Amino acid sequence: MTDSPKTALIDAIRPEIKALPESGIVEVVNYARLKKDLVPLWVGEGDKPTPAFIADAAMAALKRGETFYTYQRGIPPLRQALADYLSRSYAAKIDPERVFVTVGGMSAIKETMQMLLNPGDEIVVPSPCWPNVAAAAEIMGGVVRPVMLTFGNRGWTLDIEKVMAACGPKTKIIFVNSPGNPTGYMMSRAEQKALLEFARKRGLWIVADEVYGRLVYDRKAAPSFLEIADPDERVVVVNTFSKNWAMTGWRMGWVVASKQLGQVYENLVQYNTSGVPTFLQHGAVAALNDGDAFLAEQVARCAKGRDMVTETFSRLPRVRYAPPDGAFYAFFSVDGEDDARALAFKLVDRANVGLAPGTAFGPGAPNFMRLCFACSLDRLGEGLARLEKALK
């Protein structure tokens, strides 16, 4: 036998799984995880723990014995709270029967890919994009067709015509992430309508990732497909508790889809994760019913962070940047630095700042860097001061 046992084992697994890339963000994090005094701005989360009123509700549920198997679709009070939250956030009346609770936004996306993609089916994904979307499709044998966003004076934009042109006979899904990670791109209502019309004509599914839908700076919420799609058409909207209420570690998200898919999502949840722990679901009810003020504070803090980034970058002539319309990332390039991955390592070594390289987000931004500004202004200020020194 010429191969080492390790190689032989790897070769024995499914090619789709073997081909999965290491996360380009985690690669940098692993390199620098133990570095002293590093300012971490690489991961998509803030630095505040979940607020006490949410944690307390989960702990009370845990203490009173909410520790059994439960509804795969989510406990009824949580589905009702989600419907209420969505109905007051958006110009749409959402029926709780259309809402399914998942293990994070990640499972919401993965289970939707499992539901829709046959091997060889194509999914059109505007890029750069959160990399887990492509990976979730590829695990199913789906083929990702990226469509590049472009960067200009107005920040990141997407040409909807290009999205439509990328749809061929094998296309099954158009994926839309608005506001977008890492770019902050926000799709307009008119663009959403045009895309929905196109998808209807072609019989395509739209999977809309709206996890940053409330993290916007000039309005209450980003335009949502919930507001224009009929309840029973080929539109699935995925979302998460992670970002709005500082709950990334809870692993809780949800799907809004047609009622007709209720049994399907119930089955997918059953056979993937068997659902979210019951006591956590009670915490999530508190987040939805009592968390509007916390969310408003988060948005206000992110807005200040965004201003701080804009002010610092305006002093750096090599930096190309436009403030994002939504989400909590600055996605910028530095003249003379063409390799984002190399720059990420360099900034760790020389400036002790952790950023995510654009190369981690699929094609389209090989020389861009992502900085998360959802943290405390002290931490952000320190990170920006170090960046300024390093990039001057």
Ligand X SMILES: Cc1ncc(COP(=O)(O)O)c(C=O)c1O
Burial pattern 228-246, b for ≥16 Cβ within 10 A else e, equals bbebeebbbbbbbbbbbbb
Copy the structure tokens of residue 341.
């991955």
What is the smallest separation between the CB atom of 241 and ligand X, expressed in angstroms?
Answer: 7
Rounded to the nearest angstrom, the gap between the alpha carbon of residue 173 and the centroid of all alpha carbons in its chain is 17
Q: Pick from 130, 265, 279, 331 the residue near ligand X by CB under 6 A.
A: 130
The one-character DSSP state at 66 is -
Among 98-106, 295-303, 316-324, 357-365, the segment contacting ligand X (CB under 6 A): 98-106
Q: Pick from 253, 291, 357, 362 the residue near ligand X by CB under 6 A.
A: 253
Taking CB under 6 A as the rule, does residue 211 contact ligand X?
yes
Q: Pick from 106, 229, 288, 391 the residue near ligand X by CB under 6 A.
A: 106
- Which of 145, 149, 148 has the alpha carbon at shortest distance from 168? 145
The answer for residues whose C-beta is within 8 angstroms of residue 323's C-beta and 6 or more apart is 155, 184, 217, 306, 309, 310, 330
Cβ proximity to ligand X: between 211 and 256 the closer is 211
Q: Pick from 112, 242, 244, 367 the residue near ligand X by CB under 6 A.
A: 242
Taking CB under 6 A as the rule, does residue 99 contact ligand X?
no
Hey, is 383 helix, strand or coil?
helix
Q: Pick from 50, 171, 177, 224 the residue near ligand X by CB under 6 A.
A: 177
Q: How many CB atoms lie within 10 A of CB 338?
A: 11
Taking CB under 6 A as the rule, does residue 181 contact ligand X?
yes
Torsion-angle region of 362 (φ positive above 0: left; ψ -120 to 50: alpha; else: beta): left
Among 79-87, 101-109, 191-199, 331-339, the segment contacting ligand X (CB under 6 A): 101-109
Taking CB under 6 A as the rule, does residue 122 contact ligand X?
no
The one-character DSSP state at 233 is S
The one-character DSSP state at 118 is P
The binding track of 260-289 with respect to ligand X, each residue x by CB under 6 A or -, is ------------------------------
Contact 240, 105 (CB under 8 A): yes
What is the smallest separation between the CB atom of 222 and ligand X, expressed in angstroms?
Answer: 12
Among 103-111, 271-279, 293-301, 373-381, the segment contacting ligand X (CB under 6 A): 103-111
Taking CB under 6 A as the rule, does residue 40 contact ligand X?
no
Cβ proximity to ligand X: between 172 and 251 the closer is 251
User: Is the dihedral angle over the CA atoms 150, 153, 155, 159 positive or is it negative?
Assistant: negative
Q: Which residues, 43 to 72, sit near ligand X by CB under 6 A?
A: 44
Contact 245, 287 (CB under 8 A): yes
Q: Pick from 70, 72, 89, 248 the residue near ligand X by CB under 6 A.
A: 248
- Please give the residue ranges that form the binding site for ligand X (CB under 6 A): 44, 104-106, 130, 177, 181, 209, 211, 240, 242, 248, 253
